[in-house]
Amino acid sequence: KSRAKLANPNGKKVTFNDVAGLTEEKEELEEVVEFLKNPGRFIKIGARIPKGVLLVGPPGTGKTLLAKAVAGEANVPFFSISGSDFVEMFVGVGAARVRDLFAEAKKHSPCIVFIDEIDAVARRRGSGLGGGHDEREQTLNQMLVEMDGFGVNEGIIMIAATNRVDILDPAILRPGRFDRKVGVGRPDVKGREDILKIHCRQKPLGDDVDLHEIARTTAGFVGADLENLMNEAAIQAARDDRAYIMKEDIDKSFIKVGIGTEKKSRVVP
């Protein structure tokens, strides 16, 4: 059985409004949204819509969020699976999982199929060290077969995310596969302020909290870090039995989220 999850079927839809900054990225994806909303218009005129879009960028920059927002904007189902879910001990399981995923997606088309950490399965072939890489190659081959097998305008759009485009098998990037690349960068100061605003929508702030100032002092933070920062601050405030967040909570939160310690894992060369 496929491990693909139909993401929060009853939950609140994610839209581009929930994604701060990333203006160019959203513009590039708007085309995909338009297609999913009205495939007929594109098919009639013979336009070829990309089958696969690869989002490339450091962890926590909002790639998953963007993919969900595309599905939300187009109001289509969102299937998500991680590349690491395909990598199994037993030969054949990964490939079977890929087949199931596409069979499921076809039933729900138009839809988005999101593959996080695609590098786990789509690493350059023949570069594996020791056991297990035969299995991965089989899985990758199956994925290529499936992608080539569905028609261009069948209404399934694949979105994949990676922070290691350099190790991907070039076969995956060929025309008709993931032939569209969208870079998702770290936010600049304005981007960080906008992200903070989004994550403070439901959080009352005290007068001494200046989001612009926080944005200035958080160079290098990605969206996931900022979300975490504000969440910790909210927890601090709640523990103090206060109904709003003060600057002091955010200062404490800085220490708690351990800038420079936890962040090491996020730094991408």
Contact 1/163 with Cβ under 8 angstroms?
no
CB of 265 to ligand ATP, least distance (A): 10
Q: Which of 33, 65, 74, 245: binder of ligand ATP (CB under 6 A)?
A: 65
Q: Which one, of 81, 93, 82, 173, lies nearest residue 132 by Cα?
A: 93
**Ranges assigned E (strand) in 132-232:** 156-162, 180-183
Token pair in block for residue 214 = 């926080």
Rounded Cα distance, 223 and 245, in Å: 19
Least separation in angstroms between residue 148's CB and ligand ATP is: 26
Does position 39 interact with ligand ATP (CB under 6 A)? The reply is no
Residue 160 φ then ψ, to 5°: -125, 155
For residues 115 and 156, which CB has a smaller minimum distance to ligand ATP in the complex? 115
Length of the chain (residues): 269
Does position 20 bind ligand ATP by CB under 6 A?
yes
Give residues with Cβ within 8 angstroms of 217, minimum separation 6: none
- Per CB under 6 A, the list member of 64, 80, 218, 253 interacting with ligand ATP is 64
Q: Taking the mean position of all CA atoms in its chain, how far away is CA 176?
A: 21
CA-nearest of 148, 152, 98 to 121 is 98
Alpha carbon distance 74, 30 (integer Å): 9
> In terms of CB distance, is 4 or 65 closer to ligand ATP?
65
Has 61 been labeled as part of a binding site? yes
Residue 63 known to bind ligand: yes
Interface size with ligand ATP, residues (CB under 6 A): 18
- Residue 62 as a binder of ligand ATP (CB under 6 A): the answer is yes
User: What is the separation of C-alpha 36 from the centre of its chain, rounded to a whole number of angstroms?
Assistant: 18
Residues numbered 219-248 forming contacts with ligand ATP, rule: CB under 6 A:
223-224, 227
Report 187-206 residues binding ligand ATP (CB under 6 A).
195, 198
Residue 60 one-letter amino acid? G
Site string for ligand ATP, 41-60 (x = CB under 6 A): ------------------xx
**Residue (of 19, 17, 20) closest to 215 by Cα position:** 20
**Distance, CA of 20 to CA of 28 (rounded, Å):** 15
Residue 76 is a binding residue for ligand ATP (CB under 6 A): no
Contact characters 90-119, ligand ATP, x per CB under 6 A? --------------------------x---
Q: Which helix (H) or strand (E) holds 65?
A: helix 63-74
Is residue 25 near ligand ATP by the rule CB under 6 A? no
Binding test (CB under 6 A) with ligand ATP, winner from 161, 182, 245, 250: 161
Q: Is 83 in the site for ligand ATP (CB under 6 A)?
A: no
Nearest residue (CB) to ligand ATP, 95 versus 182: 182
Residues near ligand ATP (CB under 6 A): 19-22, 59-65, 116, 161, 195, 198, 223-224, 227
Q: Annotated binding site for ATP, which residues?
A: 57-64
